[in-house]
Amino acid sequence: MKITFKNNIKDLSKEFLFVSVSNENKDEIVKENGVKTLYLKCDEKMNLRKLFLLVRKMVLMTKSIKAEKLAFNFNDFKFNSIKLTDAELGEIIGSQLDFANYEFNKYKTMPKEGFNFIKEIYILGAPKEAEGAILKGNVIADEVNKTRSLSNMPGGDMTPSILATKAKEGVKGLPVKVIVLGEKEMEKNKMQAILSVGRGSEEESKFIIMEYSGGKKGDKPIVLVGKGVTFDTGGINLKPSNSLLGMNMDMSGGAAVVHTIALVAKMKLKKNIIGLIPSIENMASGKSYRPGDVVRSMSGKTIEILNTDAEGRVILADALTYAQKYNPEVVIDVATLTGASMVALGERASAIFTDDDSLAETMKKIGEKTGDYVWQLPMWEEYENEIKGSIGDFTNIHNKDSRYGGAIYGAIFLYQFIKGYKWVHIDMAPRMVAMAGENLALGATGSPVRLLYKFIEEYNK
């Protein structure tokens, strides 16, 4: 998508759809003096959340009439009820334009007229401060969209080895070091939690390490940990048929980590960032780990497996232990961990867990600014009683197999492997795919790349 900044519309060709934002009764496209104009209705009570949707709606309506060129006035998106600097507004507009223009069409046959995308945008009246921010927002959206494409890949075309290759490709030409540990290397590191879950598959499990050193030598890094289950059958505790569809996206946390680090490197942030992605397939076979097995993790702590479909937390246990090698400033893990988080929150926000309430508040505020919304759920000490094992240290689900509080027990399990460190767990299952009314293409949302990037950008010890 090409973005050009203009001061007036005198030389605007008739190929462009011109957009005018107003609080008219309805959205309407009319033809005036040979130029098509979209009168875009906005809510009388505008807020930041509605602003995201408004920019996306403009893109979708432009695409609906198959227009490839769009023009609008920057000042049309300034509202008295929303307190933003020109740069903040510019970054939002720049990111949402490309965010809404995205569609995953890799497996579709191209029609004769080509796929329907906006190719060029003229933005009128944008101050200099906003111009750079719009282009920055465009770069952010590009990495979010790459995350979406990675997550949308079918399971047959996205194995742990392929994910490792995609991680390398995602940072090609950037100052990011990528190391991939195979099963032999993981054996040496005693990462039996990852290896146990992955052994049911014919595909070799991988542990992907990404290192970006933009800060001072010796500065503690922020460590991002992403769940990389490239397909999840549930293992021996096989999922029902209707729950298997979409399980190619169980590596969405890993995809988010790959492209957050790529984005940090592109923006040349003066921070040290580490990405860790344990990647496996959770398959049912004669080699699969079983309900009742006891697995010794890298930490030395043992995990009593009560359900093989609670595999994400098991592999993350080793990754969180590995993260401690870096003496991290903050550890953030991202995972499509539980359907229970969707039961609790619906599909509009990811669940976050931490024992640091100020960190949770920071995450919530950044979520509102970026559109990657999050909400904190409790992680009280009392919950630890329900994951105490009978023959192992911890159980990987509630030790009485209760159907209540599943998102909390997933988080409290992870906490056992990262105690003593500043840590946030993001259960992004509610935001794995776009929902109706978001003015986005079907499929992965690319969450929470915007949240992670902005947190890193603004983080101050």
Domain positions in the chain? 2-145, 153-458
Decide the pairing of beta strands 272-282 and 222-226.
parallel
Handedness of CA 168, 174, 176, 177 (dihedral sign): positive
Secondary element (H or E) of residue 262: helix 252-266
CA 369 – CA 80 distance, rounded (Å): 17
Secondary structure letter of residue 404 according to DSSP: S
3-class SS at 35?
strand
Secondary structure letter of residue 433 according to DSSP: B
One digit per residue, the tens of pLDDT, for the chain of length 461 reads 899 998 876 666 667 899 999 877 788 888 877 778 889 999 889 999 999 999 999 999 999 999 999 999 999 999 999 999 999 999 999 999 999 999 999 999 999 999 999 999 999 999 999 999 999 999 999 999 999 999 999 999 999 999 999 999 999 999 999 999 999 999 999 999 999 999 999 999 999 999 999 999 999 999 999 999 999 999 999 999 999 999 999 999 999 999 999 999 999 999 999 999 999 999 999 999 999 999 999 999 999 999 999 999 999 999 999 999 999 999 999 999 999 999 999 999 999 999 999 999 999 999 999 999 999 999 999 999 999 999 999 999 999 999 999 999 999 999 999 999 999 999 999 999 999 999 999 999 999 999 999 999 999 87
CA 89 – CA 72 distance, rounded (Å): 14
Q: What is the pLDDT of residue 8?
A: 74
3-class SS at 144?
helix
**Residue 437 β-bridge partners:** none
| Amino acid type, 293 | D
Please list the alpha-helical segments (H only) found in 346-443.
357-370, 406-415
CA 315 – CA 308 distance, rounded (Å): 12
Q: What is the pLDDT of residue 199?
A: 98
CA 307 – CA 33 distance, rounded (Å): 66
pTM of the model: 0.97
**Residue 224 β-bridge partners:** 275, 332
CATH number, span 2-145: 3.40.220.10
Asked whether the beta carbons of 73 and 124 are under 8 A apart, the reply is: yes
CA 172 – CA 176 distance, rounded (Å): 8
Q: Please state, as a whole number, how many other Cβ atoms lie within 10 Å of the Cβ of residue 294.
A: 13
Decide the pairing of beta strands 423-427 and 350-353.
antiparallel
**Residue 230 β-bridge partners:** none
CA 324 – CA 244 distance, rounded (Å): 34
Asked whether the beta carbons of 273 and 325 are under 8 A apart, the reply is: no
Secondary structure letter of residue 240 according to DSSP: P
CATH number, span 153-458: 3.40.630.10
Angle formed at CA 183 by CA 177 and CA 186, multiple of 5 degrees: 70
Q: Which residues are catalytic?
A: 239, 313
Secondary structure letter of residue 460 according to DSSP: -
Q: Please state, as a whole number, how many other Cβ atoms lie within 10 Å of the Cβ of residue 89.
A: 24
Asked whether the beta carbons of 292 and 236 are under 8 A apart, the reply is: no
